[in-house]
């Protein structure tokens, strides 16, 4: 199934999983052991994370090692930064406006 990174990181457990395996790759059981839900629940979260490329899994004997692919967060980063830019511009415009006001005050302002 085609999965969306935005939807994948919407769940707090999945964000925790990413935080966990970003420090060290772990097998499925080790990941599950860190949470108080069933292994199957974690397995499903891992499945969603792999489906959108945020996690890749390598078989090693009978274990499957989960590794975080943090570069996939770029999709989120790009979207957010686009709007951060808009936000910063708004602040800049406000700045410019305030400065303009100051200049007007100097020219036409009344002195107390």
Partner DNA sequence: AATTTGTGCAACCAAAAGGTTCCATATATA
Partner DNA sequence: TATATATGGAACCTTTTGGTTGCACAAATT
Chain residues that interact with DNA, rule: CB under 7 A:
7, 10-11, 13, 27-30, 37-41, 43-48, 57, 61-65
Question: Whose Cβ is closer to its own copies: residue 93's or residue 102's?
Answer: 93
Q: Smallest Cα–Cα separation from 42: which of 53, 51, 33?
A: 33
CB of 14 closer than 8 Å to CB of 45: yes
The nearest distance, CB 102 to DNA, in angstroms, is 35
The nearest distance, CB 20 to its own copies, in angstroms, is 12
57 binds, options its own copies, DNA, none, Cβ within 5 to 8 A by partner type: DNA
Unique residue bearing structure tokens 């108080």: 36
Q: Smallest Cα–Cα separation from 17: which of 38, 34, 40, 5?
A: 34
Question: Whose Cβ is closer to its own copies: residue 60's or residue 87's?
Answer: 87
The separation between the first and the last C-alpha atoms of the chain, rounded to the nearest angstrom, is: 71
Question: Among the residues of 1-112, which ranges form H helices?
Answer: 5-8, 12-23, 28-33, 39-51, 74-108
Rounded to whole angstroms, the Cα distance separating 81 from 54 reads 19
Binding stretches for its own copies (CB under 8 A): 4, 6-7, 9-10, 12, 15, 18-19, 22-23, 68, 70-71, 73-74, 76-77, 79-81, 83-84, 86-87, 90
The nearest distance, CB 109 to its own copies, in angstroms, is 31
């Amino acid at each position: 199934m085609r999965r969306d990174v935005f939807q994948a990181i919407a769940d707090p457990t999945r964000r925790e999983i990413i935080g966990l395996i970003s420090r060290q790759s772990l097998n499925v059981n080790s990941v599950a052991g860190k949470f108080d839900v069933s292994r199957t629940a974690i397995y499903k979260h891992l499945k969603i994370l792999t489906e959108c490329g945020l996690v890749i899994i390598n078989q090693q004997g009978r274990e499957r090692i989960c590794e975080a692919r943090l570069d996939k967060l770029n999709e989120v980063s790009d979207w957010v930064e686009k709007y951060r830019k808009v936000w910063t511009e708004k602040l800049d415009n406000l700045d410019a406006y305030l400065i303009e006001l100051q200049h007007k005050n100097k020219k036409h302002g009344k002195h107390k």
